[in-house]
Amino acid sequence: MQGFASEFNTAIALILNGDPELWAIVLLSLKVSVFAVLISALIGMPVGAALAVSRFPGRRILIVLMNALMGFPPVVVGLLVYLMLSRSGPLGVLELLYTPTAMIIAQVVLVTPIVAALTRQVVEMLAEEYSEQLRSLGVSRLASVPVLLWDARLALVTALLAGFGRAIAEVGAVIIVGGNINHVTRVMTTTIALETSKGNLALALALGAILIGIAVAVNAMVSTLSLRAEREGLRHA
Amino acid sequence: MIRNFVRAALVSLGLIAGSASAEEPFIVVQSTTSTQNSGLFDYILPWFEAETGIDVRVVAVGTGQAIRNAINGDGDVLLVHATADEEQFVKDGWGVERFDVMYNDFVLVGPKSDPAKVKGGSDIVAALTAVSEAAVPFASRGDDSGTHKAEMRHWGDAGVDPTAESGTWYRETGSGMGATLNVASGMDAYALTDRATWESFGNRGNLEVLVEGDPRLFNQYGVILVNPEKHAGVRAAAGQRFIDWLIGPDGQTAIEAFKLNGNQLFFPNAK
B207-252 per-position pLDDT tens digit:
999 999 999 999 999 999 999 999 999 999 999 999 999 999 999 9
CATH code for B25-103+220-268?
3.40.190.10
pLDDT tens profile B163-206? 999 999 999 999 999 999 999 999 999 999 999 999 999 999 99
- Cβ atoms of A171 and A189 within 8 Å: the answer is yes
- Once rounded to an integer, what is the mean pLDDT over residues B77-85? 96
| Helix extents (H) in B22-160 | 33-37, 40-52, 63-71, 83-91, 124-134, 146-158
Asked if residue A95 lies in contact with residue B232, where contact means CB atoms within 8 angstroms, the answer is no
CA distance linking residue B116 with residue B105, whole number of Å = 22
Per-residue pLDDT of chain A (237 residues; tens, 9 = 90+): 456 787 778 777 877 787 788 889 999 999 999 999 999 999 999 999 999 999 999 999 999 999 999 999 999 999 999 999 999 999 999 999 999 999 999 999 999 999 999 999 999 999 999 888 888 888 888 888 998 999 998 889 989 999 999 999 999 999 999 999 999 999 999 999 999 999 888 889 888 998 999 889 988 988 888 888 778 766 665
Contacts of B60 in chain A (CB under 8 A): 180
Q: Which sign, positive or negative, has the C-alpha torsion B132, B133, B135, B138?
A: negative
A186-218 pLDDT tens trace: 999 999 999 999 988 888 988 899 899 988 998
Residue-wise pLDDT tens digits, B105-123: 999 999 999 999 999 999 9
From residue A183, how far is each of B44, B67, B258 by CA, in Å? 16, 23, 21
Give B 129-158 residues with CB within 8 A of chain A: none
Please give the pLDDT value at position B22.
46
Tell me whether B206 touches chain A (CB under 8 Å).
no
**Shortest alpha-carbon distance between residue B159 and chain A (Å):** 31
What span, in angstroms and rounded, lies between the C-alpha atoms of B214 and B32?
23
Angstrom CA distances, B169 to A40, B59, B124, B188, B252, stand at 46, 32, 18, 11, 41
Contact B30, B69 (CB under 8 A): yes
Give the single-character DSSP code of B166. B
The secondary structure of residue B62, as a DSSP letter, is: -
Subunit contact B233:A87, Cβ cutoff 8 A: yes
Instruction: Say which DSSP state B194 is in.
Output: E
Three-state DSSP class for residue B224: strand
The residue of chain B nearest to residue A31, with distances taken between CA atoms, is B16
- What is the amino acid identity at position A29? S
Instruction: Indicate the Cα dihedral angle A232, A233, B2, B8, nearest 10°.
Output: 20
Evaluate whether ipTM surpasses 0.85: no
Residue B19 has pLDDT above 60, yes or no: no
Distance of CA B47 to the CA centre of its chain: 21
Interchain CB distance below 8 Å, B17 and A179: no
Is the confidence at residue B56, as pLDDT, over 60? Answer: yes
Q: Give me the residue spans of the domains in chain B.
A: 25-103+220-268, 105-217
- A112 and chain B: CB distance < 8 Å anywhere? no
A164 neighbors A218 (Cβ within 8 angstroms): yes
Residues of chain B in contact with residue A196, where contact means CB-CB under 8 angstroms, are 178-179, 182
Neighbouring CB atoms inside 10 A of A21's CB total: 10
DSSP B54: P
- The whole-number pLDDT of residue B14 equals 52
Backbone angles phi, psi at B101, to 5 degrees: -120, -50
B4 touches chain A (CB under 8 A): no
Share of chain B above pLDDT 70, in %: 91
B188: left (phi over 0), alpha (psi -120 to 50) or beta: left
- pLDDT at position B52 is 95
Helix (H) or strand (E) holding B96: strand B95-111
Please check the confidence at residue B9 and state whether its pLDDT lies above 70. no
Look at the domain B105-217 and name its fold: D-Maltodextrin-Binding Protein; domain 2 (3.40.190)
Residue A55's CB is within 10 A of a number of other CB atoms, namely 6
Closest alpha carbon to A189 in A52, A78, A79: A78
Cβ <8 Å between B9 and A101: no
Mean pLDDT of the B38-62 span: 95
Which chain B residues touch A201 with a CB distance below 8 Å? Answer: 202-203
Q: How far is A7 from chain B (nearest CA, A)?
A: 11
Where residue A18 falls (left for φ over 0; alpha for ψ -120 to 50; beta otherwise) is left
Q: Do A181 and B74 touch (CB under 8 A)?
A: no
State the DSSP string of B12-51.
HHHHHHHHHHSSS-EEEEEE-HHHHHTTHHHHHHHHHHHH
Minimum CA–CA partner of A200 in chain B: B202
**Rounded mean pLDDT of chain B?**
91
Q: What is the pTM of this model?
A: 0.88
Q: Measure the CA–CA gap between A15 and A26, rounded to whole angstroms.
A: 11
Pairwise CB contact (< 8 Å): A197 & B12: no
**What is the DSSP-derived secondary structure letter of residue A86?**
S
The fourth-level CATH superfamily of domain A22-200 is MetI-like (1.10.3720.10)
pLDDT at residue B1, as a whole number = 46
Contact B197, B33 (CB under 8 A): yes
Q: Is A192:A207 a contact under the CB 8 Å cutoff?
A: yes
Q: Are domains B25-103+220-268 and B105-217 of this chain identical in fold?
A: yes
Q: How far is CA A70 from CA A37, A63, A101, A122, A214, in A?
A: 14, 11, 22, 16, 23
Give the pLDDT of residue B18.
45
Burial classification of residue B179, based on how many CB atoms lie within 10 Å of its CB (0-12 exposed, 13-18 middle, 19 or more buried): buried
User: Within an 8 Å CB–CB cutoff, is residue B253 touching chain A?
Assistant: no
